[in-house]
Amino acid sequence: MQKRILGQGLEVSAIGLGCMGMSQAYGPNPGSRDDMIAVLRGAVDLGVTLFDTAEVYGPYVNEELVGEALAPVRDQVVIATKFGFRIGGEGLDSRPEHIREVVDASLRRLGTDVIDLLYQHRVDPDVPIEDVAGTVSALIADGKVRHFGLSEASAATIRRAHAVQPVTAVQSEYSLWTRDPEAEVLPVLGELGIGFVPFSPLGRGFLTGAIDTTTAFASDDMRNGLPRFTEENRAANAALIAHVTALAAAKDATPGQIALAWLLAQQPWIVPIPGTRRISRIEENLAAAELVLTSAELGELDALADGVQGERYSAAQFAQVDRG
């Protein structure tokens, strides 16, 4: 498996694994806990070294799952988790005392003595980012955390945080159909030497070609509440996936591999974290690191991606996204 370097010299596999879907968000999990442990350990065997979880996934149970699965190979992997939500309540909470409480609880659930990469899950407008970065800096000094990350943060917030505690990675949604970070965030990351970790790099499944206007989601699938997944917007975005599918066929690849190869081609410090519950899908995703797209192919994909229809989040979800 190819490796890439995020900020502060943190080396990880070129493609990581997002673990959220093993516990929530995309409808009932067809596998058991033992099945998911087998998938996580199988990912390690295939060369994955970056595993992404959060206290809010489940909540709590995803950290427990990841911790148990990776315990036998703890020294071979990078575990990323997140703080920032008020579990059991409403809204965000990045008060320094809360961050410390969350870290201690996450360490227990993960069954480890250090968190490799700790993200602020969403920027809290009520807590200065300097206070957040300073708290994480103290946790790093205490040996409880190794690296600091931000999620869905604006360029201005990234600069302010980085001035207090160097930021290793920023995590935000980025894919062929969600290109928001390109205008301001990616240039700042390149300037400051910070890595970028795109979540939902396969467009929450749309870019795999498995979703069309007839697809029905389970009642507890989060995509039911996302504007981009209305039947109208799925129809409007069909041209993009048709092109991706045709290009995949021409290159003896899958649509998902094309989407991941496009992301990897954007910058050498980009490490996507597609989520899955199947080892066969992990094998497919990892093969994308070997797929080369020509400049002409990348340009054609760029042109189609510029016309994607529908917002990626609802208004309520966007309210928790830092826009600077």
Numbers of helices and strands, H then E, in the chain: 12, 9
Label residues 34-54 b or e (16+ Cβ within 10 Å = b).
eebbebbbbbbebebbbbbbb
Evaluate whether residue 265 is within a structural domain. Answer: yes
Cα separation, 143 vs 129, in Å, equals 21
Q: What is the pLDDT of residues 150-191, one digit of tens each?
A: 999 999 999 999 999 999 999 999 999 899 999 999 999 999
Q: Give the domain range for residue 102.
A: 3-318
Task: Note the pLDDT of residue 253.
Answer: 98
Task: Note the pLDDT of residue 120.
Answer: 98
Task: Note the pLDDT of residue 23.
Answer: 92
Between the alpha carbon of residue 122 and those of residues 130, 203, 250, 317, the distances in Å are 14, 20, 40, 11
Phi/psi of residue 236, nearest 5 degrees: -65, -30
* Catalytic (active-site) positions: 57
Given a cut of 70, the residues of the chain with pLDDT beneath it are: none
For the whole prediction, is pTM greater than 0.85? Answer: yes
* Closest to 195 (Cα-Cα) out of 1, 13, 53: 13
CATH of the domain at 207: 3.20.20.100
Evaluate whether residue 109 is within a structural domain. Answer: yes
Evaluate whether residue 323 is within a structural domain. Answer: no
Is residue 136 within 8 A of residue 118, CB to CB? The reply is yes
Q: What is the pLDDT of residues 220-230, one digit of tens each?
A: 888 999 999 99
Evaluate whether residue 324 is within a structural domain. Answer: no
Partner residues linked to 149 by β-bridges: 119, 169
**Based on the structure, what is the number of domains in the chain?**
1
The secondary structure element, H or E, covering residue 105 is helix 96-110
Between the alpha carbon of residue 240 and those of residues 257, 264, 297, the distances in Å are 15, 18, 13
3 state SS of 235: helix
Longest dimension (CA), the chain: 54
* Closest to 10 (Cα-Cα) out of 113, 116, 107, 112: 116
Evaluate whether residue 33 is within a structural domain. Answer: yes
Evaluate whether residue 72 is within a structural domain. Answer: yes
DSSP label at residue 222: G
How many angstroms from the chain centroid is the CA of residue 51? 10
Cα separation, 220 vs 161, in Å, equals 35
Task: Note the pLDDT of residue 31.
Answer: 83
